[in-house]
Every structure is written in C-alpha cells, then in structure tokens.
Structure 1
Amino acid sequence: MPPEAVGNRRRVMVSDQGGKANFLAELKRRGIDVPRDDHRLDALISVVKEREAEGYAYEGADASFELLARKMLHGLPEFFNVTSFRCMVERRFDANGQLKTVSEAIVKVMVEGEEKMSVAEGHGPVNALDIALRKDLGKFQSEIADMELADFKVRILNGGTEAITRVLIESHDGTGARWWTVGVSENIIDASFQALMDSIVYKLMKNRDMAGLVAAE
C-alpha cells in the first residue's frame, strides 16, 4: 500500500547515503527542476555529503536542505543580511533580591541598504537571539509576525569542551505549516543562529510560494 493512501508521504533520503536518484526525487517534490546530468546537481550532492560529514543532518531539516539546493541550483534572493550579532548572559539580583540569569542579544541587519539594530532579552541566549533577529526586518517584518519557534533540539556530536554542536529548530506560522532547520558549529550560539536564519528565510520564501512542500511533514 502506498504511504499516500493512508495520509503519509514517502520520505526520500537526502544525506551522505543518498544517491542521485534520491536527490532528484526530493528536488522534484519541492518544485525544483534540474537535469540529471547538470554539473550543479553533482556539486549540490558533494556539498551535502561534505556538510553531513561535518555534522549537518539534512534528512531531519528539509527546509535547510531546500534553501541550500535553491541557492546552488538557481540562486536565492537576499532579503536581508546580518552584519553582526552578540549575545551576553548575566547573572544578577533582581529588585526582589532574587538571583536571576538574564540573556541579552544584539543583532545588526542590513535591509535594502539600511542598517537596523535590535536588542532583546530572553529566557536563554537562543530565545534572546530569536526575538532580536525578528524584531525589525524593515519591510519584511509584517511577513514574519505569525512565525514562532516551536521546538529546539541540541546534540553534541563529540566530547570535550570543543565539541561540535548540532542544533535543530522547528518553526511554525499562522497557516499551520511547520518546518525544520539546522545549524552546526563549535559554538552552540552560532549553530543556533544559523538555524534561526534559515528558518526566517524559508518563511519569506514560503510567503512568495517559492518554497516546496512543508519541510516537516
């Protein structure tokens, strides 16, 4: 019985174990057309395998895979550009004498040649970065108003204080759509920021009907 007959869909492996046929099937499902003998397809497969060797997991982060594929095969619009970000964690006593840990993030972005700086506090550094990044994106701000971070998963890929960290983020919006993005770095904040960036760009693409099927089906 085909999975579609019971409300599911057939998942195609896009990873270091996946062959060209799997990549073509997944790209087609997402509305991305590319000839089998196109050198850009070979380059995409090579990059995916390299990144998965570094710790990325595109099989569980379809939105990040789609962004990478579109960028390498057809190009992506640059909605905004992050010029810098900073995150600080401070432990201090509040007005009631209670010890609290507060995270603050500062994000600078360029939107249509105009630099914007946003500052936000959050329940942890990732929450603070998420709020700051989505605080002022100029003309795109209204497009992400219904977007929320739904889940956040961290996996340490090797031991020690210099461990490589993989972050998976699930996001959703007012339409009910959900998608997963991934970031990998020696720094958990940097890995988280990569995943947050992909999530917002995917949302903006989705709003323009440029993205494929929901990435977390």
Structure 2
Amino acid sequence: MRFLSLVGAAAATWLAGTNAQDTSDVKSIPLRTHSLVQPYLDSDLQSRWWDFGGDTIIRADKHIRLTSDRPSQSGWIYSRVPLTATNWEIELEFDINGQGNLFGDGFAMWVTTDRAQQGPVFGNKDKFEGLGIFFDTYKNNRPGVVFPYVMAMLGDGHTTYDQGHDGKANELAGCSARGLRNANTPTKARITYFQEKSLTLELMYKKEDEWTPCFEVPGVKLPGVTYLGF
C-alpha cells in the first residue's frame, strides 16, 4: 500500500456450501481470526491475530492507517493464522483520500502463501503466489483505461508484476472505478471465492448500500493454505 488509505474494517466469512450460482443453501460462519474490528489492538497494544509494519499506524478506537499523506510511504498488515477455508467472503471498508490531485499508487488485498514481506507491489513483495486485488489510483502507462482501476492478478511465485503498464500483462479481470478517491459515501469491496468455481468482486462507492459488480471469473483455484493481508 502506498499513500493515504484508511482501512475501516474487514470481515472474513467462511461459506459452507458448494453452489456459487445458487446461494440459498450457503451458510456463513464469521472468521474472527481474519476479521479486523475495533478496537484492533489488545490491552498490551498488540494484535493476537495480525502483524503489521512499515508505515502502518493503528488507532485502536478509530482506524488502521496503512500510510499517511506523505510521499514514498509503504505499510502492511497481515494475518498470523493461515486462511484454510475453501470458500470464503471478505468485505472491506476503506478510505482513500489526500490533498491535491495525486493519490499515490493505491493499495491491495492479498491472499498469498507468503506473509508480511514488504516490497514494491503496493507494499508487498513481487513474484508472489496467490491472489492480489489491486486498487490502483495512479495511472502510469495504460491508454484508454479510466483510473482508479481495480484488478485481480493470480501470482505463480515467479511472474513479475507489470508495474510499467499498471498490471496489463498480469490482469485476470478488472474494472474502472472513478469516484473511489475522496468519496462522499462509505467505500467498500466484497470479494467472494468458491474454490475452482468462481471469484467475484463487488464495489460500493457510488451510493451507500449500492453494490456495483466489478468482475466474476469462473474456475479460479487458489493455493490451499494462504494468509490474508493488505
């Protein structure tokens, strides 16, 4: 993550069911180990379930700030416990804002086999294995695409992120999300995964309680043991 972004809350849920198309038989079970809820820190100012580093600041009563409104900052927060659920849904509330017209590179949500390795790809290491959802707020070189742009990449542990072209060579799916920065309504993302069946992303930024579909990709398979990070 680079530049100013506030993570308000993240709720992870295990989905007990097998039909990604018909959710009537799907039961949800909250995953406390992979949810971020106030006060965020324990009484000893540590987190039982999460590690954080870089420029990340946690205000126990308010928010998790991955970076401040300053250049060249990078912060991260990663789960300590692996995410072993085969089907899951993660709903994330965040805030991207700052002064002027520049908003840094953006931030990412990670579901990867490695954890807490700071690097050049939205605050995380390059050549990762697993899933990266990139909320890209700065256009480098991608003609014809409106930014902010939200995209998914499946990393194989060997492929380098195409930073010079904003991930064009790596994109699994994505969508433009103009209005995601300095939004007047709560901004949220909801990622739903059914193993080897579908990966879906919905965004809330136009109007409160109104979800906008971003993408749905069939047949996605993630590694069996991963960690959740931002």
Question: Is TM-score (shorter-chain normalized) higher than 0.5?
Answer: no
* TM superposition score normalised by structure 2: 0.30
Structure ranking higher on relative contact order (CA contacts 8 Å, 6+ apart): 2
Greater helix proportion: 1
* TM superposition score normalised by structure 1: 0.31
Larger Rg: 1
